[in-house]
Structure 1
Amino acid sequence: MTALSATAMPVSDDKLEKLMAEFATCAVANVSDNLERLRGAKGIKPFHRSGVMVGRALTIKVVPGSNGFIHRALDVVKPGDVLVVDGGGYVDRALIGEIMVAIAKSRGAAGYVIDGAIRDIDNISCNDFPVFARDFIHLGPYKDGPGALNVPVTIGGMMVHPGDIVLGDADGVVAFSPEEAEDLLVCTRAQQKKEEDILASVAAGTYTGAYAK
């Protein structure tokens, strides 16, 4: 994929919605391949039952073990937002559980991505509301630590900016700017078609090993 032009124009809300609907049918692995295999959240995995997540990043920075700013984010979350929480990778206290998942779902959020721990796994794993995190633990959070909303954050080594498109599936999570989304979608679709053709040739017994070259 070519680098994003410095003159890229902002994406309208209508176009952004259409692009996100298209990305909802794309594999995270194919998208990250077309970001030069450099971008992606390492160590962040899905804990919900199944399903793809796509939405706009509402970014949240918290201090380890404190979720007060996640509560603040739930007061301003909009339908289609993904709550992207930089918890510093700290997994000794859970930042969210069943109740905060229910609140996010009721307000139309598209999911959670948390570089930290969660709890109430029995409930979360039985539902399709997307929850991606680093780990789980029963110990709960404090609520009085400092933090910030709508600032650049780091999730599993991946930088996420407010308003980025966030895509998640069983393989993990990737994020990218709306301005690069259209070109990225074209490249991802081309790779998807190439892989479908390869699988068809494997099934037909005509595969020649060209994919490895």
Structure 2
Amino acid sequence: MSGTAPLTKGQGRKVGPAFTLRFVPAREDLATPASWSSPTSTRGAIEAMPDGCIAVVDAMGITDAGIFGDILTARMARRGVAGLVTDGVMRDLAGVLSTGLPVWCQGVAAPPSVAGLTFVNWQEPVGCGGVAVFPNDTIVADDDGAVVIPAAMLEAVVDEAVEQERMEAWIMDEVGRGVALPGLYPMNAETRARYDAFKAGNG
């Protein structure tokens, strides 16, 4: 997802099912402080978030209105939400950081969400950072940013990821031994044979 950078260093890697929230452009009759008390509000969405989920917020890339501040993120942390990913921005930076909720976003802005956005719903397909995200897709977020794994592809991706990590760890060992990159990365037939022999000998 584009524009989903760690709000601070050292947040670690978080993995969990997507709980989606969607904003649309602000409309004067809807984007008001009174809307915060509506049943269809960010407050209502937060109370519906299950333990261990990652909130994925479609803020349409708007960076001059902070979607959440310290109170809402504190409640999310209290409910066991694993993290927050958005293509928008946050507000109340010091307060948000104090909650301990890991956040991936485009930065911070002082104005509240109603200055540029209207919240419309949760747990429906959204677009975040140019990527389609459906409820319960798997989100993986770390120091490099955030990615989406479609729910139907999770098992296949996990299987391939384990093999990819093992292969790259072997390649790194080879580099550490002074092996030149041509033919090693990517592997030629000879290198592939050596790697297959390594796997066979190590279960």
Could you tell which deviates more after superposition, 44-53 or 102-111? 44-53
- Supply the distance in 2 between the matched residues of 1:212 and 1:126 (Cα, whole angstroms): 44
Equivalent in the alignment of 1:83? 55
- Supply the distance in 1 between the matched residues of 2:99 and 2:160 (Cα, whole angstroms): 32
**Residue 204 of structure 1: how far off its partner (Å):** 1.2
1:136 aligns with 2:96: no
Residue-by-residue CA offset, 1:139-193 (whole Å, 9 max, x unaligned): 2222993511111101111110011111100111111223211111111111111
**Residue 126 of structure 1: how far off its partner (Å):** 6.0
1:55 aligns with 2:21: no
Question: What are the equivalent positions in structure 2 for 1:100-139 lying under 5 Å apart?
Answer: 100-125=72-97, 128-139=100-111
Aligned pair count reads 173
- Supply the distance in 1 between the matched residues of 2:59 and 2:48 (Cα, whole angstroms): 19
Question: What value does the CA root-mean-square deviation take over the aligned residues?
Answer: 2.2
Q: Is the 8 A contact 1:55 1:82 kept in 2?
A: yes
Percent of aligned positions with the same letter in both sequences? 28
Secondary structure at 2:17's aligned position in 1? strand
Could you tell which deviates more after superposition, 199-208 or 124-133? 124-133
- Supply the distance in 2 between the matched residues of 1:64 and 1:212 (Cα, whole angstroms): 46
1:167 aligns with 2:140: yes
Equivalent in the alignment of 2:6? 46
Question: Which of 73, 84, 97 is residue 69 of structure 2 equivalent to?
Answer: 97
- Supply the distance in 1 between the matched residues of 2:171 and 2:119 (Cα, whole angstroms): 51
**Residue 87 of structure 1: how far off its partner (Å):** 0.8
What are the ranges of 5 or more consecutive residues in structure 2 without an aligned counterpart? Answer: 188-203
- Supply the distance in 2 between the matched residues of 1:161 and 1:133 (Cα, whole angstroms): 19
